[in-house]
Amino acid sequence: MPSVSDVLADMEEGLDGYLSTPGGRFWFIDGQTGVSRQLCGLGCLPQDPDFAPGLHGTISKRYTLGQLEARENE
């Protein structure tokens, strides 16, 4: 999932962003609101061969910046 720094970087630039993750998920980051939405799920893009599913718990399809901050602080 996107990190807080991924979202903040897009917001600081005022740009929408896209992000792929080691698990093969693809995300859209709204540079105005800071909301991240999963466009396609686990394995929709090539995965890192060292990827281990479930390491970060359940991954939602949408996160606000506040929700990402809370997850990083757990």
> Mind listing the pLDDT tens digit for each residue in 21-44?
999 999 999 999 999 999 999 999
Radius of gyration of the chain (CA): 12
Q: Helices in the chain by DSSP H: which ranges?
A: 4-13, 65-72
The answer for 40, left when phi > 0, alpha when psi is -120 to 50, beta otherwise, is beta
- List the structure tokens of 61: 């399809």
pLDDT of residue 55 exceeding 90, the answer is no
CA-nearest of 14, 22, 13 to 3 is 22
